[in-house]
């Protein structure tokens, strides 16, 4: 039977030798149990929810979803695990971690250092994750809290983002989701992928088929953007017509 204070740990690293090394080190540490291994952040998030892990040993650089983006998505969980980053030398990242009191292990990882890190392991605070955001080039997924779980929606699948009161609607071909990011924040992060066609709507550039003018109830004409994969159209503000015409041209 497991000790009540046993830490449930998940390793996330795309390199098998690195995972093997951590597994061997954990074998010699009392009151810890390894409950899963992941090769990228997406797998790690699924394992964290499935296993209710206490600690995530998280590599910074991984394919599909790296450690920094994973840390952002973990904030959507009701009880996120403690995070200890693992990394080869990256002076810029380590300086940011030191300034913001984020724990990390420098590869090759030593037994004593791992033990110390586990002894003081704690969940990252939202302010710490926000401070690390400049290290992250751009998210590849949006994280959506839904019925107690975190759903990952690939940015590449999103057709448009529309501001709705306190939330933003994320529209894919299949359905809609709600996130709490503001349109301004999203435009700053994904400005080369989404085009603002109206004050409340950003549209994926590669989903715009064209535009047409349509009459309204007053008999005046307004312009709408025609979108790929969905029946909806998006009204285009006059000030954004030049951007839309530039795409068509």
CA 180, CA 145: separation in Å to the nearest integer? 10
> 80 Cβ partners below 8 Å, 6+ apart?
48, 74, 123, 124
- pLDDT per position as a tens digit, 152-183: 999 999 999 999 988 999 999 999 999 999 99
Mean pLDDT, the chain, whole residue set:
90
Average pLDDT over residues 74-89: 90
Answer with the one of 135, 156, 176 that is the final residue of a domain: 135
Question: Do 162 and 88 sit in the same domain of this protein?
Answer: no
CA 54, CA 83: separation in Å to the nearest integer? 9
- pLDDT per position as a tens digit, 17-51: 999 999 999 999 999 999 999 999 999 999 999 99
| 156 occurs within a structural domain | yes
Question: Do 150 and 130 sit in the same domain of this protein?
Answer: no
| 53 occurs within a structural domain | yes
pLDDT over 50 at 2, yes or no: no
Answer with the one of 135, 163, 191 that is the final residue of a domain: 135
Assign 229 a pLDDT band (cuts: 50, 70, 90): very high
| 84 occurs within a structural domain | yes
| 1 occurs within a structural domain | no
Question: Do 131 and 31 sit in the same domain of this protein?
Answer: yes
| Per-residue model confidence (pLDDT) at position 46 | 94
| Per-residue model confidence (pLDDT) at position 31 | 92
Question: Do 200 and 85 sit in the same domain of this protein?
Answer: no
Instruction: Please give, one letter per residue, the 3-state secondary structure of 126-160.
Output: HHHHHHHHHHCCCCCEEEEEECCEEEEEEHHHEEE
- Report the greatest alpha carbon distance in the chain: 77
Question: Do 214 and 109 sit in the same domain of this protein?
Answer: no
Instruction: Please give, one letter per residue, the 3-state secondary structure of 209-228.
Output: EEEEEEECCCCCEEEEEEEC
> What is the percent of the chain where pLDDT is above 90?
68
4-13, 105-114, 161-170: the lowest-pLDDT one = 4-13
Our CA dihedral for 79, 68, 46, 30, rounded to 10 degrees, sits at -70
| Per-residue model confidence (pLDDT) at position 50 | 93
| 228 occurs within a structural domain | yes
Provide the CATH number for the domain around residue 226.
2.40.50.1020
Long-range contacts made by residues 241-246, C-beta under 8 angstroms, separation at least 24? 243/195, 243/196, 243/197, 244/195, 244/197, 244/208, 244/211
pLDDT over 70 at 248, yes or no: no
pLDDT over 70 at 104, yes or no: yes
pLDDT over 70 at 3, yes or no: no
Structural domain harbouring 154: 141-248
Question: Do 115 and 180 sit in the same domain of this protein?
Answer: no
Question: Do 149 and 230 sit in the same domain of this protein?
Answer: yes
Choice between 122 and 89, residue whose per-residue pLDDT is larger: 122
Assign 219 a pLDDT band (cuts: 50, 70, 90): low
| Per-residue model confidence (pLDDT) at position 85 | 94
Provide the CATH number for the domain around residue 46.
3.40.50.2300
Please state the pTM of the whole predicted model. Answer: 0.86
Q: Cis omega (within 30 of 0) on the bond before 108?
A: yes
- pLDDT per position as a tens digit, 119-163: 988 889 989 998 988 887 789 999 999 887 899 999 999 999 999
Assign 249 a pLDDT band (cuts: 50, 70, 90): low
Question: Do 239 and 214 sit in the same domain of this protein?
Answer: yes
CA 235, CA 249: separation in Å to the nearest integer? 19
Question: Do 130 and 148 sit in the same domain of this protein?
Answer: no
Backbone angles phi, psi at 182, to 5 degrees: -80, 155
| 72 occurs within a structural domain | yes
Answer with the one of 79, 110, 135 that is the final residue of a domain: 135
| 13 occurs within a structural domain | yes
| Structural domain total, the chain | 2
Average pLDDT over residues 55-61: 95
> 155 Cβ partners below 8 Å, 6+ apart?
138, 139, 140, 141, 142, 190, 193
pLDDT over 90 at 209, yes or no: yes
Burial (CB < 10 A; 0-12, 13-18, 19+), residue 62, is: buried
Question: Do 23 and 123 sit in the same domain of this protein?
Answer: yes
Question: Do 125 and 11 sit in the same domain of this protein?
Answer: yes
Burial (CB < 10 A; 0-12, 13-18, 19+), residue 170, is: buried
| Per-residue model confidence (pLDDT) at position 4 | 46
CA 133, CA 40: separation in Å to the nearest integer? 18
Question: Do 33 and 130 sit in the same domain of this protein?
Answer: yes
| 242 occurs within a structural domain | yes
7-11, 13-17, 101-105: the lowest-pLDDT one = 101-105
């Amino acid at each position: 039977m497991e000790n009540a204070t046993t830490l449930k740990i998940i390793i996330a690293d795309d390199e098998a030798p690195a995972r093997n090394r951590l597994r061997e080190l954990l074998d010699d540490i009392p009151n810890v149990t390894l409950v899963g291994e992941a090769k990228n952040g997406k797998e790690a998030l699924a394992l964290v929810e499935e296993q209710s892990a206490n600690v995530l040993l998280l590599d910074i650089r991984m394919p599909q979803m790296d450690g920094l983006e994973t840390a952002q998505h973990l904030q959507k969980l009701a009880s996120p695990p403690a995070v200890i980053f693992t990394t080869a030398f990256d002076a810029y990242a380590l300086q940011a971690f030191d300034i913001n009191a984020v724990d990390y292990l420098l590869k090759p990882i030593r037994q004593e250092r791992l033990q110390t890190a586990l002894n003081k392991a704690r969940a990252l605070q939202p302010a710490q994750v926000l401070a690390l955001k400049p290290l992250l080039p751009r998210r590849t997924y949006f994280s959506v809290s839904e019925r107690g779980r975190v759903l990952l929606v690939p940015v590449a699948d999103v057709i448009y983002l529309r501001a709705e009161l306190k939330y933003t609607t994320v529209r894919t071909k299949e359905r809609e989701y709600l996130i709490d990011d503001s349109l301004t924040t999203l435009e700053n992060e994904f400005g080369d992928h989404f085009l603002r066609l109206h004050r409340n709507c950003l549209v994926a550039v590669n989903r715009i088929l064209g535009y047409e003018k349509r009459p309204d109830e007053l008999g005046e004409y307004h312009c709408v953007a025609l979108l790929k994969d969905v029946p909806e159209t998006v009204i285009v503000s006059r000030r954004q017509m030049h951007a839309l015409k530039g795409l068509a041209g």
